[in-house]
């Protein structure tokens, strides 16, 4: 087949396959059968460290909600600050995903069935960043008495959705079934609303705290690649060898691209 036909076929057919497979899903939770193959935790220890932002510490501005009367009148002046880049006074980067990206291939972990929650409060996502397991139930809630929509359609695996939500206490139930990072959550009604969802297929991940610190507990001895992912600053990886009962330290620095 001529090369251009192959390329055309890939470009045309591939998106259709993604749409029809629907890797995400709502309503009834689905858990394909699996046989856990868990690591031996003898000598397991922690990997911990700090993720720093390199560069001038950004000043977070208060969000202007003037375009919507309900949001403006309910705005939490302290909390309604830009969420794209949150850096502490000491340069610690908040809300970076830290995960083991290589070294766990031999294992199969049980599902996490406790729902993860992203709420909408005073026209902001709370929390702004959510890190969940594949197949973990996720509840997109609203505590607001105004209308929102939740749009995650930038998913590269076609597991996003776009649904409207209104009425305090309402929720959208969803499952993300493929590992994926930096899925953006937006509300098409309120352009300042921005969140991110990361989906990981094992339990060795966390989000950095206010000061940029992180801890991955219960890591069995071995050699791993650890990855840090930030929605704005990109990805960095380092390898680390974890010896039995010896906590490992690992620091990262990210900067604007």
Binding site residues, Cu ion, CB under 5 A: 148, 187, 189-190, 193
Sheet holding 234-242, edge to edge: 205-207, 97-102, 222-230, 234-242
Nearer to Cu ion, 86 or 187 (CB): 187
In this structure, are residues 204 and 104 in contact, taking their beta carbons and an 8 Å threshold? yes
Nearer to Cu ion, 125 or 204 (CB): 125
Nearer to Cu ion, 138 or 226 (CB): 138
Nearer to Cu ion, 144 or 227 (CB): 144
- Nearest approach in angstroms of CB 193 to Cu ion is 5
Nearer to Cu ion, 165 or 240 (CB): 165
Nearer to Cu ion, 189 or 240 (CB): 189
Question: What would you measure as the largest C-alpha separation in the chain, in angstroms?
Answer: 62
- Nearest approach in angstroms of CB 167 to Cu ion is 13
The SS3 assignment for 209 reads coil
Rounded CA separation 184/41 (Å): 35
- Nearest approach in angstroms of CB 86 to Cu ion is 20
- Nearest approach in angstroms of CB 199 to Cu ion is 23
- Nearest approach in angstroms of CB 190 to Cu ion is 4
Closest CA to 70 of 120, 105, 111, 25: 120
Rounded CA separation 204/226 (Å): 10
- Nearest approach in angstroms of CB 71 to Cu ion is 7
CB count within 10 Å of CB 6 equals 10
In this structure, are residues 227 and 200 in contact, taking their beta carbons and an 8 Å threshold? no
CA angle 50, 56, 60 (to 5 degrees): 90
In this structure, are residues 218 and 244 in contact, taking their beta carbons and an 8 Å threshold? no
């Amino acid at each position: 087949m001529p090369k251009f036909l192959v390329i055309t076929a890939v470009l045309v057919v591939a998106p259709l396959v993604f749409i029809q497979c629907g890797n995400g899903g709502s309503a009834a939770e689905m858990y394909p059968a699996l046989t856990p193959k868990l690591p031996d935790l003898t000598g397991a220890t922690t990997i911990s460290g700090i993720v720093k932002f390199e560069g001038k510490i950004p000043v977070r501005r208060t969000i202007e909600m003037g375009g919507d009367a309900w949001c403006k009148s309910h705005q939490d002046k302290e909390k309604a600050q830009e969420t794209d880049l949150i850096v502490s006074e000491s340069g610690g980067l908040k809300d970076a995903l830290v995960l083991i990206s290589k070294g766990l291939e031999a294992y199969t972990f049980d599902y996490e069935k406790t729902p993860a929650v992203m709420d909408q409060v005073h026209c902001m996502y709370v929390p702004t960043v959510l890190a969940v397991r594949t197949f973990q139930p996720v509840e997109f809630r609203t505590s607001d008495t105004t209308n929102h929509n939740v749009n995650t359609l930038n998913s590269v695996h076609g597991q996003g959705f776009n649904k409207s939500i209104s009425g305090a206490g309402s929720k959208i139930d969803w499952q993300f079934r493929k590992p994926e990072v930096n899925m953006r959550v937006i509300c098409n009604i309120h352009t300042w609303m921005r969140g991110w969802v990361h989906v990981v297929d094992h339990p060795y991940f966390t989000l950095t705290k206010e000061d940029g610190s992180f801890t991955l507990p219960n890591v069995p001895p071995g050699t791993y690649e650890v990855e840090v992912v930030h929605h704005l600053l990109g990805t960095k990886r380092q390898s680390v060898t974890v010896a039995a009962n010896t906590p490992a330290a690992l620091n990262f620095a990210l900067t604007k691209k």
